[in-house]
Structure 1
Amino acid sequence: MSTRVFRITVRGVFDGLGPEQRAELLARAGEHDVLHAAFTPEGHLSYDIAARPAFTFRFQDSGEAEEDILEATERAEEAARAWLTGRGYGFKNLRALAEDLSQAPLGKRQRRAAATGNPA
């Protein structure tokens, strides 16, 4: 059985932030810029608190079976909750979306490589 790679996106909205918390998020905004976003095992947070209170965590996980995506999604949601709670940031509307990359459609280069028998 092969290992499946899952990408999990956890989105939400900051809620009830105090002036100090908002200032802290603004000061660290550069390291949480969406232009640096990546799917990582520990999760990557991105936001633009100056524009709107929404945030996104991006997690990468893996499993052996298709059903493992459910546990990976739960782990990602819990990790996001723990990060936010541990820093005292209020939040609401937390929701997750997961994708099994083994089920993702092939891109143009991948289709061409598959057709010619060359690895991408």
Structure 2
Amino acid sequence: MSTQHTYRVIVRGAFEGLSEESRARLLAEVDDHGMAAMRFTTEGSLAYDRTLKHFSYRLVVLSDAAEGEEMAAAIAEDRAETALAGLGHGHGELRSTVTDMDTMKINYKR
């Protein structure tokens, strides 16, 4: 069995083809999805602003270390796409930034 690592993934993209209903729902909930609401969770945390142009989705992904950061990014992008589709929000191309929390070096101040 391979070792599991914990990855923090930020999936970024742009909203595209939003319906009037989708746009109205996003604007009604914008205060719940600002900078203060950003969290890394298994379910994902959606963040955007009133311009409804760009968004980010923060996720925690557990994946085999042997499969690396590319697999963690693919899993996170799939989760983000599924969540956005479930909410009825269209989007363009996604890109991800992955941090392996198990190999991250922490510098403690003495």
Normalised by the shorter chain, which TM-score bucket? 0.7 to 0.9
Percent identity of paired positions between Structure 1 and Structure 2: 34
In structure 2, how many angstroms separate the alpha carbons of the residues matched to 1:34 and 1:66? 33
* Higher mean displacement: 64-73 or 90-99: 64-73
Unaligned ranges ≥5, structure 1: 113-120
Please state if 1:19 is matched with 2:8: no
SS of equivalent to 2:65: coil
TM-score norm. by structure 2 comes to 0.84
Count the aligned residue pairs: 109
TM-score norm. by structure 1 comes to 0.78
Q: Which 4+ stretches in 1 moved above 4 angstroms? A: none
Q: For residues 46-61 of structure 1, what are the structure 2 equivalents within 5 Å?
A: 46-48=47-49, 50-61=50-61
Unaligned ranges ≥5, structure 2: none
In structure 1, how many angstroms separate the alpha carbons of the residues matched to 2:52 and 2:32? 17
1:88, distance to aligned residue in structure 2 (A): 2.1
In structure 1, how many angstroms separate the alpha carbons of the residues matched to 2:5 and 2:35? 26
Q: 1:117 — aligned with what?
A: none
AA partner of residue 65 (structure 1): A
Are the aligned partners of 2:18 and 2:90 in contact in 1 as well (CA < 8 Å)?
A: yes
SS of equivalent to 2:39: coil
SS of equivalent to 2:102: helix
SS of equivalent to 1:91: coil
Q: 2:81 — aligned with what?
A: 81
Higher relative contact order (CA 8 A, sep 6+): 2
In structure 1, how many angstroms separate the alpha carbons of the residues matched to 2:85 and 2:64? 31
1:70, distance to aligned residue in structure 2 (A): 2.8
In structure 2, how many angstroms separate the alpha carbons of the residues matched to 1:51 and 1:68? 35
CA RMSD, Structure 1 to Structure 2 (Å): 2.0
1:74, distance to aligned residue in structure 2 (A): 1.4
1:89, distance to aligned residue in structure 2 (A): 1.4
